[in-house]
Structure 1
Amino acid sequence: MVSNSDFLNENNPEIPADLREEIEHRQGELHLRFYLSSGDEFALPAMGIKEVMQQEPDRITPIPNASDLLLGTINLRGKVIWVADLGSFLQDMAVLNTERAEIPVIAIEDQDLILGLAVERLGEMEWLDVEDLQMPINVPDYIAPYVQGEWVFTDDDNGTDKTYLRLLDQVAILRSARWVTLRSSRWVN
């Protein structure tokens, strides 16, 4: 079996030359960038992501009397997992559009827990330097426990137009007390 570190080794002959060069010059850690319905951008560390998929809405089985945070369950290679609306979980005011052909779902895991997070739109995989991570500013109290920090990018020459990319903590999301009732009803196998 080939581990991630073996595959990402720049001496691996199976890696194309252009990708090998990118790996040699990478800085930081690999993250997945994505957007909520409000347009707010977040990132998750790639190491905490089990899988990223585009899920047809009719393949998400709704569960009667379940929390409003949950869209339902999906079958991920024989394992039933819950799919949550990440925007609702983070109390994003914009509503996730589920009336479309596919919904992006990021399956996160920690030890024995797996949870699918439905988001509005997937972004890019990007090497981000955690050394540049700053303490988040103007983060609402209700999402603060799930934000590890933020990267601040300037979009113009004079440095006044800034965008913020917040790094989420998938373990904090998975272990949140908001899921207690789900865990007690065996939300994971």
Structure 2
Amino acid sequence: MIELVDVPPLRGPRPAGTSRVRRRVPPDAPVFRPVRRSILTGLAAAGATAGLKALGVFPPARDALSSGFELVGYYDIYPRCPSYASGHNCSPGCGPSLVCASCCRTSGKYKGFHKSGVSDPGRYKLRPSDCYGSHWDGWLWAYAKSCGKCKKGVTWRCHDGWKKSKAGNWYKTICRVATACKN
């Protein structure tokens, strides 16, 4: 039977005359080597996964959004539809402002983005950092049903700005360009 005085304390000072205990792996300890059965099981699981993926059982992986936005040129594009446009159908799609095809640039470095005072002075202006919480210049908007030539859905890049009316009043507009079309 073990006496209480023979049990070493877990805390407190080390008793006089005792050496510090060091724990090391003994030199004759067995080295881990995989068993043949575990290797075969792993290969079978990998083969089954690859086969199911080839058959299309698993949906395709989506790209991870590392920083929450896509920088196109110098525009910050929000990767999801803002809540104020979530209930929209095929048209207008992008949001509460007027979707304006003539507001989109048709050439140059920023083709498909809203015209600006640089591209068309006096008639157009951008609304930088004015959409979705005053941080983004534009956003992506997706519709998962038939829309125009896209039979199974469309994704638009929406970029907002201002257009001057013939009467001289400025009103909010959106340039909408399809970035993906599912047929």
The structure whose RCO (Cα within 8 Å, separation 6+) is larger is: 1
Task: Tell me which protein shows more strand as a share of its residues.
Answer: 1
Task: Tell me which protein shows more helix as a share of its residues.
Answer: 1
TM-score normalised by the chain length of structure 2: 0.21
TM-score normalised by the chain length of structure 1: 0.20
